[in-house]
A = this chain, B = another copy of it.
Amino acid sequence: MNRDRQAIETLRILAVEQIAKAKSGHPGIALGAAPIIHLLYSKIMNISPKHHQWINRDRFVMSAGHGSALLYSVLYLAGYGLGIDDLKEFRQFGSKTPGHPEIHTTPGVDATTGPLGQGIAMAVGMTIAETYLGAKFNRSDLNLFDHRTYVLCGDGDLQEGVAQEAMSLAGHLGLNKLIVLYDSNDIQLDGKVANANSESVSEKLPAMGWNHILVEDGEDLNDLEKAVGQAQLSNKPTIIEVKTIIGRGSSVANTPKAHGSPLPAEEVAKMRAEFGGEPFSVPNEILDFYQESIIEAGETKYESWMKLKEVYAAKYHREAEQLDGMISNDYPVDFMRLLNFEESYSKATRVSGGDILNVLQTVHPGLIGGSADLASSTKVKGIDGDFSKTNRTGRNLNFGVREHSMAAIANGIALHQGLRPFVSGFFVFSDYMKPAIRLSALMDLPVIYVFTHDSIAVGEDGPTHQPVEQLTMLRSIPNMNVIRPADANETLTAWEVALETKTNPVALVLTRQDVPTVTNRKLSAHLKQGAYVLSPERRHLDGIIMASGSEVKLALDAQNRLFEDGIDVRVVSVPSMFLFDRQNEKYRESVLPKQVKARLAIEMSEASHYYKYLGTDGSLMNIKGFGQSSPAGKLIEAMGFYVENVVSVFKEGYKNSQK
């Protein structure tokens, strides 16, 4: 057995040993795709395990995230900091080797994967980031950015809509630094691929602007290497379809059983016996080989890049400084001087939001993004033209009607580092992005989602376009900051929060319709605390009305009317429950004092999260069903969102609370 073969068998045995010990995992892909992983890590990728955050490293995305055990095997051998004991702790509580790869848990993992299709789309985002940064910062003699993004995906990945959307866009954009290795084994969980899919990948992908290269025997390293070399020279993204055998060499090879169940312990023991050595042991020559070919070679690559960067910094001082700020995501913007909205300003928050973003982009070089074919409605558009085959420094990403992959691509851009992605669409279509938004939150990525047309006030377009339950959906995601500002000033502070944010996604939820200015710069600064007393009671605190977004004005009007009727309430603006729930108890109590039982929350949404602030006697004025097609004003009134009704609902609750 030559060294490559021995290395491949090492990856295989380590993977199935991890899975067998955990009694949980996916041996099929580990056995089938080991040669691909070996080749990528030992011969192809420019990586430096000791500097696993090196920004110009080649990226690797295990889109088939269930192949984690295979990935951990190679990360261990390649010196990323995993020890053999970590492999023994595969899938255990608190271990560095979780069931699917997670970026914060395991050094060397470039993307958290598992939900199929997402990895491919994130890789597209990484490639966009590399391409943009290269075009912006590289100089004729000094290529700071010059890396590729490699993906390992399976049959299931390619069936996902999000992957198809992203690949379509990658083809359109000619992202030639993207190379997808497709572990094509003709088997998926429920049986043969042929039972669920009969596309011709070799014809379909070229029709989408991709190269397709077939490697007929996934064990043939020469062919594999040749294919990758060919891909590297192309001006298009490439998919290398590698024919492999799922569960290769095991008793369940070439069957769906190989996918997700551990091999029997005896079978693994037998495989180990044939390979030689103790369980979880690795032949010294393999350790040496990886040490040399990856760890030491990587050190050299990294150091020569650092030297390059020094030369660059000397020659292009300003650019280097800007780049450092962008990489560290530390780019201060003086919001107080940026913009000022007059008291008389009364435009939709999507409009003020768009104005703010346009100014921000001129002072923050890291901002890049766009909309899913709705820029003219959401007012969210990148500057410097469309990013395209011919304009690699365009900061507008024209995603087309591809909401889901838009969000996943934004994740990839954020993962790459160096850029601050923002994406946009109608709020109701956040539904299409949910799986990727969840991954933003899980990966602590500060992706900025700008959602406009935020309630039934969408009006004529009707219930399919009127969000109702989307605020609840997003508020329920852990680590997700949902901000629904009341006016232009709160929108400005919301953008400030978004830019300052480093470890969670932020959703700005903006109106379609005009809203008056109800705060000022000083008041709206309290948005950072999530909720605040916007208009205090005048003499005695009889009750509290909470509201967010366009309903804040309604709350203020109701406050006045109630005062005329002898009831003295305060109005609390609640732009972000996420931020408010993170304040200390003293602050929260100062805004919503416990002894005040008469409480009303007003929000044109399903709004269930308000219940936690309402207690037994509070009431919620929300939207109970779907909306309907109608001019907005009429519909809002029909749904009860007018002053008289607010006053009457509050009084009802007030009466009950006095009992």
Contact = CB atoms under 8 A, between A and B. Distances in A.
Counting every copy of the chain, the complex holds: 2
A204 B208 contact: yes
Contacts of A463: 98, 102, 442
Interface string A617-651: 00000001110111100110010000000000000
Contact of A100 (B93, B198, B465, B611): B465
Nearest to A374: B189
A465 B99 contact: yes
A184 interface: no
Contact of A208 (B172, B199, B614): B199
A340 interface: no
B628 A98 contact: yes
A635 B92 CA distance: 9
A629 B189 contact: no
A207 B196 contact: no
A631 B374 contact: no
Nearest to A199: B208
Contact of A477 (B165, B208, B469): B469
Interface in A156-172: 156-157, 159-165, 168-169, 171-172
B93 A464 contact: no
Size class of the A contact interface (CB-based, 8 Å): 35 or more
Nearest to A161: B161
Interface in A107-135: 112-117
Contacts of A493: none
B473 A476 contact: yes
A82 to B, nearest CB: 15
A207 B203 contact: yes
A438 interface: yes
A476 B469 contact: yes
A259 to B, nearest CB: 9
Contacts of A198: 171-172, 209
A225 interface: no
A25 interface: yes
B171 A165 contact: no
A329 interface: no
A306 interface: no
A375 interface: yes
Most B CB atoms within 10 A — which of A190, A465, A631? Answer: A190
Contacts of A102: 462-463, 629
B462 A100 contact: yes
A220 to B, nearest CB: 26
Most B CB atoms within 10 A — which of A24, A25, A165? Answer: A165
A548 interface: no
A88 interface: no
A115 B165 contact: no
Contacts of A163: 161
Interface stretch (A40-48, A429-437, A533-541): A429-437
A160 B171 contact: no
A160 B161 contact: yes
A429 B115 contact: yes
A462 B399 contact: no
Contacts of A405: 161
Closest 6 CB pairs between A and B?
A161-B161, A98-B629, A114-B464, A196-B400, A611-B611, A615-B616
13 contacts: A98-B628, A99-B629, A112-B464, A156-B373, A161-B162, A190-B371, A190-B398, A200-B207, A431-B434, A432-B434, A476-B608, A479-B626, A608-B612
